Amino acid sequence: QVQLVQSWAEVKKPGASVKISCQASGYTFINYDIHWVRQAPGQGLEWMAVINPSGGSTTYAQKFQGRISVTRDPSTSIVYMELRGLTSEDTAVYYCARDGTIFGVLMAMDVWGKGTTVTVSS
């Protein structure tokens, strides 16, 4: 079945970087964009970035410009999200999600990973 499997939880110190992975399976990896969305404790959903796995082009939320990088490895169907310069405000659950289509129509984020908890603490 179609699924996105994310890497395990991380604990980082302020100023460090974190790199999270999202492995796709059950569909043709290069055909669907992958987004990163985060959710701080008790807060709503915040869109961070998107990558086109075919060509590797990315779009980042302005808020994260300069300290986020999203890459992909088509040979393993994995998308990576690296966030640098972590602060306590980056403590959150980070989700990857696929842009789905149905009968050729874009239907927003139809498949989500289970999330990766990142805790930033000294």
Q: Which residues contact 18 (CB under 8 A, 6 or more apart)?
A: 10, 12, 82, 83, 86, 90, 118
| Cα gap 9→84, rounded to integer Å | 16
List beta partners, residue 3.
25
| Cα gap 119→21, rounded to integer Å | 16
| Cα gap 15→90, rounded to integer Å | 11
Stretch that binds other proteins, among 9-17, 18-26, 44-52, 72-80 (CB under 8 A): 44-52
**Among 35, 53, 81, 116, contact with other proteins (rule: CB under 8 A):** 35
CB closer to other proteins, 105 vs 122: 105
As measured in angstroms, the least distance from the Cβ of 16 to other proteins is 26
**Among 30, 69, 115, 117, contact with other proteins (rule: CB under 8 A):** 115
Residue 117 in the binding site for other proteins (CB under 8 A): no
Interface positions, 46-75, toward other proteins (CB under 8 A): 46-47, 50, 59, 61
Q: What are phi and psi of 119, to 5 degrees?
A: -115, 125
Interface positions, 93-112, toward other proteins (CB under 8 A): 95, 97, 99-100, 102, 105-110, 112
Binding interface with other proteins (CB under 8 A): 35, 37, 44-47, 50, 59, 61, 95, 97, 99-100, 102, 105-110, 112-115
